[in-house]
Structures are given as structure tokens and as C-alpha cells.
């Protein structure tokens, strides 16, 4: 039995898998270049202020934390997450806001101030790449997001066109 054709088939499969992987990596890099801002956009308002406003026209810049109190803030496999009020870091470096009594009380007070953030492609659909991977995000991370506000089924939605990650 000639093993050379099998070897070529195996080599072809490995090369195809590498091309698909590279294609996905290049898509992530392309989308990061499109959406991620190095500098924080000016004029950011708090999540609570954005949810209190009723005007859905025009762009808005919102600062908040990726957190959703009692439920998961991420939409698995999609470029979407929940943004809540960004509380001031009063404990300095290494402060754990999730276990701080002061921060927990403030989070509870602002629990009604949540925004769903979505990044959409040119086709109008949510980008099918997890936001954690796409933007290298983590739970409770502070971000500034720019986009167009709208309301869907009583939930404030921000269709984002830019993100700045505070590091």
C-alpha cells in the first residue's frame, strides 16, 4: 500500500487547519483595529446617566464596568456584554471591589443601571466572536464605549462602534 498519498492528504489537512486558524486570527486583529481605541474618547457619561436619558438619537460615550450583579455579563460566543456603573476605586491597587462591603452596597444601589453593549458587523448582526477574546476583556473591567443608543424590549442597548479598555 502506498503511503505517499495518505501523507499528502494529512499534510493538506494540517495546512487547511492552519489557514483557517490564521484566518480567524486575522479577523480578530482586523476587528480590534476597527473598534479598539488607544485613547479614551472625551465626554463619557456614567451608565446611570445614560439609562436616565430618553433621547435615542445620536452617539453617546459611556464609562462603566463589565458586571451584571447576580448574572453573567457575557454573551458567550458574541461580541456583547453588560455594562454597569463604574464605581470609583477607593482602595488603591489590588482593591477587590467584588468583596468590599462599600463597593457591594454601591453596586446594589446602581443595579438598575445596566446597558447591553453589542458590536455588530457590516451585516447588522452581532459579531460572532466572544468579546473576552475579541477585546481581551475580563469581569469587572472598566471600559469606555462609544455608540448609538436604542431601547429593545425595555432594555437600553448600545450598538457600539468603539471601545477603550482602561488598564
Confidence of residue 2 (pLDDT cuts 50, 70, 90): low
Query: pLDDT digit string (tens) for 119-152?
Result: 999 999 999 999 999 999 999 899 999 999 987 7
CB-CB contact of 156 with 57 (8 Å): no
Q: In whole angstroms, give the CA distance from residue 29 to residue 124.
A: 20
Q: In whole angstroms, give the CA distance from residue 18 to residue 9.
A: 14
Between the alpha carbon of residue 10 and those of residues 4, 6, 20, 141, the distances in Å are 10, 6, 15, 43
Classify the C-alpha dihedral 94-160-80-130 as positive or negative. Answer: negative
Cα 1 to chain centroid distance, Å, stands at 53
Mean pLDDT rounded to a whole number for the chain: 81
Which one is predicted more confidently, 28 or 100?
28
What's the pLDDT at 163? 98
What architecture does CATH give domain 36-165? Beta Barrel (2.40)
Confidence of residue 45 (pLDDT cuts 50, 70, 90): very high
What's the pLDDT at 125? 97
Element (H, E) at 12: helix 4-35
Residue carrying C-alpha cell 453573567? 72
Q: What pTM value is reported for the model?
A: 0.76
Per-domain residue ranges of the chain: 36-165
Q: If we measure between CA atoms, which residue out of 165, 126, 166, 163 comes closest to residue 145?
A: 163
Which one is predicted more confidently, 20 or 75?
75
Query: pLDDT digit string (tens) for 92-122?
Result: 666 676 677 776 666 665 556 789 999 999 9
Helix extents (H) in 36-128: 47-52, 101-109
Q: If we measure between CA atoms, which residue out of 126, 28, 121, 114 comes closest to residue 72?
A: 114
If you average pLDDT over residues 58-77, what whole number do you get? 90
Confidence of residue 31 (pLDDT cuts 50, 70, 90): very high
Amino acid at each position: 500500500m502506498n503511503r505517499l498519498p495518505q501523507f499528502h492528504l494529512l499534510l493538506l489537512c494540517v495546512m487547511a487547519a492552519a489557514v483557517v486558524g490564521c484566518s480567524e486570527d486575522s479577523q480578530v486583529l482586523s476587528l480590534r483595529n476597527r473598534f479598539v481605541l488607544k485613547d479614551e474618547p472625551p465626554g463619557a457619561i456614567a451608565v446611570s446617566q445614560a439609562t436616565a436619558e430618553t433621547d435615542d438619537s445620536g452617539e453617546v460615550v459611556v464609562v462603566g464596568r463589565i458586571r451584571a450583579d447576580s448574572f453573567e455579563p457575557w454573551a458567550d460566543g458574541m461580541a456583547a456584554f453588560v455594562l454597569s456603573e463604574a464605581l470609583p476605586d477607593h482602595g488603591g491597587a489590588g482593591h477587590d471591589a467584588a468583596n468590599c462591603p462599600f463597593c457591594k452596597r454601591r453596586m446594589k444601589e446602581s443595579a438598575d443601571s445596566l446597558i447591553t453593549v453589542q458590536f455588530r458587523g457590516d451585516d447588522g448582526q452581532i459579531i460572532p466572536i466572544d468579546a473576552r477574546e475579541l477585546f481581551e476583556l475580563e469581569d469587572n473591567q472598566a471600559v469606555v464605549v462609544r455608540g448609538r443608543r436604542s431601547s429593545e424590549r425595555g432594555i437600553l442597548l448600545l450598538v457600539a462602534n468603539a471601545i477603550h479598555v482602561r488598564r
